[in-house]
Structure 1
Amino acid sequence: MRLPPPSVLLSSLLLLGSACIVEAPGGASEQERRAATVTQVPPLSVKNGANLGGKVELVGATVQPGRLTPGEQAKVALYFKVLQPMEDDYLIFVHVEDADGRAERINVDHKPAGGMLPTSQWKPGETVKDEFAIYVPPGTPARTMNIWLGLWEPRTDSRLRIVNANAVRNDGKGRLLLGQVPVAQ
């Protein structure tokens, strides 16, 4: 498979950081739903197209800035188009790993949409925006970080399968490679 240019990979990979897990009691209000959904993916987002379990498509992502700086945060936004209702509440798992294997994995697992809109409340046709930050610790020896992600159901310890695995970069274990992001030295 041919890889997109480095600028596209950079823009699509800063997916870790601090994720605040907050749950709205009794489900999302209409105002919270409006804040957590979009009608159109912003034009600067990186297109993806990964189909997760036939339920959701990751249609795009943004990473700002497009280069990780140790000791600073990068903001990541994911855009999920809902294809089918989901009965379970999945977490978004995010693994940031040194492409050369010289640094420890950074996990940024979190509830979607800041905890305001669990996946069991996602409606077909909606596009749900999920935002979080990733943080690379100072002194990280990595030159490039891989950002892996997917949807994980903790009760059964299962991931939604990537239906179109031949069309997107993945590890064959339910982890989608969002991109590779360079690390400032």
Structure 2
Amino acid sequence: MRLKLPTVMLSSVLLLGSACIVEAPGGASPEQRRAATVTQVPALSVRNGANLGGKVELVAATVQPGRLTPGERAQVTVYFKVLEALDADYLIFVHVEDAGGRMERMNLDHMPANGMLPTSQWKPGETVKDEFSIYLPADANPKALNIWLGLWDPKTDARLPLTNRDAVRNDGRDRILIAQVPVAH
């Protein structure tokens, strides 16, 4: 299996190659769990509320900076509240698309929390923080970027279904729109 590191370039070339995630026997260490979870979601986060399979709520997301300039990178942080234990190790799938449909979609599928805390180790009541960055090449000229996200099981090729479609922005295919980021030119 080939996993992409959590950095994407918005052109036809991926910035970083593949990675191998090694899980220690017995699961995440206490230090890894502390690094991958939060007790409070930052106040300036954009609230979401998407419910995935009745097991996970996408609580909020942040994108910094809130406006991207070609040649710059943006840091994206998402917060997942664990409602029920997950029996599979889902990947977080991220699709970055030009809001106007002029650029090829970029995929950024990755293990949550930089591979420190697979979803099968998430505990009910925890809020798991996931971070990744996107890079917009200097020669790119979209007006805005849409960032879509969800959970995907690579073994079954199935997405964890969005159960509250009427409550959140989505595309009807279990992809949640977490942000539309304007691009300055």
Query: Which TM bucket (shorter chain)?
Result: 0.7 to 0.9
Structure 1 CA distance for aligned equivalents of residues 115 and 22 of structure 2: 5
Change in CA separation of 1:113 and 1:90 when aligned onto 2, cut-off 3 Å:
same
> For residue 50 of structure 2, what is the amino acid of its counterpart?
A
Conserved? CA contact 1:49–1:58, under 8 Å: yes
- The TM-score, its normalising length taken from structure 1, stands at 0.88
- In structure 1, the residue corresponding to 2:113 is in which secondary structure? helix
Q: How does 1:1-185 map to 2 (within 5 A)?
A: 17=8, 22-26=21-25, 27-185=27-185
Deviation of 1:23 (Å): 3.3
Deviation of 1:105 (Å): 0.9
Change in CA separation of 1:113 and 1:121 when aligned onto 2, cut-off 3 Å:
same
Conserved? CA contact 1:168–1:176, under 8 Å: yes
Structure 2 CA distance for aligned equivalents of residues 41 and 177 of structure 1: 19
User: How many residue pairs end up in the alignment?
Assistant: 171
> For residue 24 of structure 2, what is the amino acid of its counterpart?
P
Equivalent in the alignment of 1:5? none
Change in CA separation of 1:147 and 1:16 when aligned onto 2, cut-off 3 Å:
farther
Give CA deviations for 1:114-166 in whole Å, capped at 9, x if unaligned: 00000000000000000111112221121111111100001100001110000
State the identity as a percent: 67
Give CA deviations for 1:55-112 in whole Å, capped at 9, x if unaligned: 1001111110001222221101100000000000000000010111111111111100
Gaps of 5+ in 1: 1-14
Moved more, 22-31 or 143-152: 22-31
- The TM-score, its normalising length taken from structure 2, stands at 0.88
